[in-house]
Structures are given as structure tokens and as C-alpha cells.
């Protein structure tokens, strides 16, 4: 069973969130009501606010075997409309307080449709099966010695792999308690008194900048960082203030979390560890030929195993990804040492930006800017930022006078707020090569 702990003995305060505290059986009962209300639907959507209500709704969909699309609660009207139209999902309705427990759905059924950015165009729906999630969570539970004795704490959004698959379904599968802090603030983390903490690097960086809150994490068993590269100074700051180095792990929506340091093993700043059980990795060169795992050669990272996506949702069908011999090309470049340890060097494409742990496609932000009547041309890049890792920076050629602030708010109104540029530079023209293509490297 995917969410196996729910069927175990009841447990008080199994889920603690800003709006409600639920015991295991309260969650199961309320989710069974949702399952009854949506039984037989093809796909449902949930406004994924960071609440127990969201956890109930998503759990209900999983009980019913109905794939669920979590919608960012702050998605602007353009992004929201795209997610609903593209997936064909309808929102989970108000549900009765309980219903009959449906039989466990087939493990090969899709569980989630997670929308994520490509380099161009609107986000794509990544279809993830129940079996992939189960394999991933079991691999991570083994790597992190994650059990029902843990109390997991985080405040991450509930519409991405990190906050939802690991941060909610992981707790419901292992049986650990879950405390969701609403927002991932240093104070919320310090006050929650957990054993296991999840955060993106921006969260850990803010915790290191708040030493009193960081010291409160001394009692934790394991601090886990992922979704973007953890800067070495943040790693070292955590080690000094909390008495333990963080465990770093790597993954992506399409493969789930595949590479990690171990709870009982070495931790290495700037490195993300070795593949979890059920996952293989390799490097290839630009022609697709295998590249050596010698710790020096930088190659394109590929992943194979039980945690891979079923495919991308297109016109109601699931289109499998382009795999060669089962290998999924992550789009990340990395080194692998002779000891199997991975170092993520960066993304192959400059058009995928990681800001605060969110993946944002430059093309989607450019399209949003171009929809403003005052914008003639737009080019978006990620520029280095101490807190966010990268910040979204837009270069705009204006058609008519316009304030940077106006354009920032315009994008925030159309897309999720984290996709808004933090900086807009109004320029006379964009640097182009002789073919007319914008040279983003020159914008940096
Ligand atoms: C500011 N705000 C605006 C605005 N200016 N809203 C609209 N228009 C404007 N012009 C508001 C926002 O709505 C929000 O309000 C507030 O400002 C701050 O929002 P923010 O920009 O998101 O905050 P920030 O401080 O930058 O957030 C940092 C953060 C966040 C760490 C909290 O980036 C975060 O939660 N990151 C987690 C990303 C994540 O989970 N990634 C996992 C992907 S899965 P208000 O009121 O709402 O605060 C993956 C796989 C893997 O990568 O490996 O895990
Ligand atoms: P997403 O699609 O939002 O799941 O983002 C996945 C991407 O996040 C990966 O392809 C990587 O570029 C990046 N990523 C995730 N974890 C790490 C990490 N520990 N170190 C560096 N990059 C990471």
C-alpha cells in the first residue's frame, strides 16, 4: 500500500499543519470521504495551500486511485488556466466527512501530475506512478534511516516533489509524524522540535543567518538539503551551529530523488552522495558516449531505475520520455568519483533557472513579459544571488515607457509569484548573434 502507515494503529497528531492537527485515523477517515466524492473521475486538481486540508484532499485522491494535479495556490490566472485546461482536471469538491475505504489501486496507476517548467513554453505535466513514488520513498527511508520514530518538519510548498512527495507522502508511508510550518521560516523550524528536517538551500541559508534558531536544531537527528546546490558556506555554517553536517540529496520532478548522502555515512560539502536503492546513474559526453567516473570528467548525468516518470501529459495521453536503454537525460552536468560520489556542476541549459529551489523556465517568463503591451522584446536569465541561489533577471526592450515594477507585478499576476523577475533592466537592444538569436551569455 502506498500510504501504508495510515492503516496502522492510530496515532495522535500524525499531521500538524497551520489549519489543523489530525491523528492518523482522522486523516484516513476524512480522506476516505474525499475518495468517495471523486471515485471514477479521470483526474482531479487540488489548490495546494500549505494546509492539512490539502493533505486530506491529496490523500483522498491517492486512496481513490485518481491522479491529482496540485495547483500552486498563488498561480496567476494564466498559469492556473493552463494547468486546469492542459490536464483536464476538475477541482476536488467539498466531500462528506467519511466514506468507504476503496481497495488499494494498481501500483502502476498514475498518482500525481506535477507541472514543471521546460526551457520554453508553459509548464509540462509530469505523470508519476504510485510505484515510482513507493520505490523512491523506500530508497530514501533506507538512506536516511527514516522511521515512524521520526518527526519530520518542513514548510515547503505542497505542489512539488520536495514538499509533497517527500514531505507529505514520505511521512504517510514511513509513519513518521509530520509538522508543516506553513512557511519554511527559521523560527518555525526551531519551534517545531523535529528529528528530521527538509529544506531547500535558501531555507538553510536563512537558518544559518539566524544563529539562535539554528542552534535549536542541535536536537535533530538529520538535516536534509535539496532542490538546488547547497553553498559550501551554508553547509559549514550548519555544521558549526547545529553540530551536524547536512545530508545533501539530488533529484528532479521527472526522476524523483535519486542520489543522496546516507544518515550513517560520510557527508561531503558540495557533493550529493550516491544513488539510492533501485537507481543507477552514469555520465555521457555530448555525443551520448559513456564518460568516465573519475571524479574529474564533467559529463551529462543520466538516471535509470524504478523512480522514473511515466511520461508527459499531452492532449490527455501520457507520452513516454525519450529514453536510450532506459536512461533518462537529466539535463544536469556532473562528475562521479571512483567512489561513486556525485558532484552536480550545474544545468546544461541556461534557460532553466533555479531560484529559491524553484525551477523556472526562461521562456515562460519571457512569454509573460511579451504579453504586456509596452514590451517589444524580452530575455530572461538567472543571475547569482546570495539568498536565492539565482534570481530571475529580465532584460526588456520597451515599446513605450514602462516602469520595471509594473512589469514585475504583471508577471506575478499571470504566473506563480516566484516566477516574477526580481530585477528588470530596460535596455535599448538585446545582444544578438549574426543569426539574430539572443546571446544570453553576453547579458551576464
Ligand atoms: C512579493 N510578493 C509578491 C510580489 N512581490 N507577490 C506578487 N507580486 C509581487 N510583485 C510576495 C509573494 O507573493 C510572497 O507572499 C512573498 O512576496 C514572498 O514570496 P517569495 O518571493 O516566494 O518569497 P521568498 O522569500 O523569495 O521565498 C523563499 C522560499 C521559497 C525559500 C520560502 O523560494 C520557497 O518556498 N522555495 C521552495 C521551493 C521548492 O519547494 N522547490 C522544490 C522543487 S522540487 P507571501 O505572503 O505568500 O509570503 C525539486 C526536486 C528536488 O526541485 O530535488 O527537490
Ligand atoms: P525540479 O524540476 O524543480 O524538480 O528541479 C530539478 C533540478 O533541481 C535538477 O535538475 C537540478 O538542476 C536541481 N537540483 C536538485 N537537487 C539538487 C542538488 N542537491 N544540487 C544541485 N542541483 C539540484
| Per-residue pLDDT reduced to its tens digit, 55-103 | 999 999 999 999 999 999 999 999 999 999 999 999 999 999 999 999 9
Q: What is the pLDDT of residues 7-24, one digit of tens each?
A: 999 999 999 999 999 999
> Considering only CA atoms, which residue is closest to atom 17 of ligand 1?
417
Low-confidence winner among 34-38, 351-355, 435-439 (lowest mean pLDDT): 435-439
Instruction: Establish whether residue 359 lines the binding site of ligand 2, counting it when its CB lies within 6 angstroms of any ligand atom.
Output: yes
- pLDDT, one tens digit per residue, over 310-322 is 999 999 899 999 9
Q: How far is the CA of 227 from the centre of ligand 2 (A)?
A: 4
User: DSSP states of 382-432 as a string?
Assistant: EEEETTTEEEEEEEEEESS---HHHHHHHHHHHS-GGGS-SEEEE-S---B
By DSSP bridging, strand 274-275 and strand 256-260 are antiparallel
Decide if 127 contacts 246 (C-beta within 8 A). no
| C-beta 362 within 6 A of ligand 2 | no
179, containing H or E segment: strand 177-180
Domains in the chain with CATH codes: 4-345 (3.40.50.12780), 350-443 (3.30.300.30)
Instruction: For residue 356, report the distance from its CA to the centre of ligand 1, in Å.
Output: 7
Q: pLDDT tens for residues 116-125?
A: 999 999 999 9
What distance in angstroms lies between residue 120's CA and the mean position of ligand 1's atoms? 21
Q: Is the pLDDT of residue 435 over 90?
A: no
What residues pair up with 113 in beta bridges, in sequence order?
A: 127
Q: How far is the CA of 250 from the centre of ligand 2 (A)?
A: 6
- Cβ atoms of residues 313 and 85 within 8 Å: no
Amino acid at each position: 500500500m502506498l500510504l501504508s502507515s495510515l492503516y496502522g494503529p492510530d496515532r495522535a497528531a500524525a499531521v500538524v499543519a497551520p489549519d489543523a492537527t489530525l491523528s492518523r485515523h482522522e486523516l484516513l477517515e476524512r480522506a476516505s470521504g474525499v475518495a468517495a466524492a471523486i471515485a471514477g473521475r479521470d483526474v482531479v486538481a487540488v489548490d495546494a495551500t500549505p494546509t492539512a486540508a490539502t493533505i486530506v484532499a491529496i490523500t483522498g485522491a491517492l486512496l481513490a486511485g485518481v491522479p491529482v494535479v496540485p495547483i500552486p495556490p498563488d498561480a496567476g490566472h494564466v498559469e492556473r488556466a493552463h494547468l486546469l485546461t492542459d490536464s483536464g482536471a476538475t477541482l476536488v469538491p467539498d466531500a462528506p466527512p467519511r466514506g468507504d475505504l476503496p481497495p488499494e489501486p494498481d501500483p502502476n496507476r498514475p498518482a500525481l501530475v506535477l507541472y514543471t517548467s521546460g526551457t520554453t513554453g508553459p509548464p509540462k505535466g509530469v505523470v508519476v506512478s504510485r510505484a515510482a513514488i513507493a520505490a523512491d520513498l523506500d530508497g530514501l527511508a533506507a538512506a536516511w534511516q527514516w522511521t515512524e520514530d521520526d518527526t519530520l518538519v518542513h514548510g515547503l510548498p505542497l505542489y512539488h516533489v520536495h514538499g509533497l512527495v517527500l514531505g507529505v507522502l514520505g511521512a504517510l508511508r514511513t509513519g513518521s509524524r509530520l509538522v508543516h510550518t506553513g512557511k519554511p521560516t527559521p523560527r518555525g523550524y526551531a519551534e517545531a522540535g523535529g528529528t528530521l528536517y527538509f529544506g531547500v538551500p535558501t531555507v538553510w541559508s536563512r537558518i544559518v543567518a539566524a544563529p539562535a534558531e539554528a542552534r535549536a536544531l542541535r536536537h535533530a537527528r538529520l538535516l536534509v538539503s535539496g532542490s538546488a546546490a547547497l553553498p559550501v558556506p551554508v553547509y559549514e555554517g550548519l555544521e558549526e551551529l547545529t553540530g551536524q553536517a547536512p545530508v545533501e540529496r539530488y533529484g528532479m520532478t521527472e526522476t524523483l530523488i535519486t542520489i543522496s548522502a546516507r544518515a550513517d555515512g560520510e557527508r561531503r560539502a558540495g557533493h550529493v552522495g550516491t544513488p539510492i536503492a533501485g537507481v543507477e546513474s552514469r555520465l555521457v559526453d555530448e555525443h551520448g558516449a559513456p564518460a568516465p567516473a573519475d571524479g574529474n570528467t564533467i559529463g551529462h548525468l543520466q538516471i535509470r531505475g524504478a523512480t522514473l516518470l511515466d511520461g508527459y501529459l499531452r492532449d490527455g495521453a501520457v507520452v513516454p520520455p525519450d529514453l536510450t536503454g532506459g536512461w533518462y537525460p537529466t539535463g544536469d552536468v556532473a562528475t562521479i568519483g571512483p567512489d561513486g560520489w556525485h558532484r552536480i556542476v550545474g544545468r546544461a541549459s541556461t534557460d532553466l533557472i533555479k531560484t529559491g529551489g524553484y525551477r523556472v523556465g526562461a521562456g515562460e517568463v519571457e512569454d509573460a513579459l511579451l504579453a504586456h503591451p509596452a514590451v517589444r522584446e524580452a530575455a530572461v536569465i538567472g543571475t547569482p544571488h546570495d539568498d536565492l541561489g539565482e534570481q530571475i533577471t529580465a532584460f526588456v526592450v520597451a515599446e513605450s515607457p514602462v516602469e520595471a515594477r509594473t512589469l514585475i507585478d504583471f508577471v506575478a499576476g499571470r504566473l506563480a509569484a516566484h516566477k516574477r523577475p526580481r530585477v528588470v533592466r530596460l535596455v535599448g537592444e538585446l545582444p544578438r548573434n549574426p543569426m539574430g538569436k539572443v546571446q544570453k551569455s553576453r547579458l551576464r
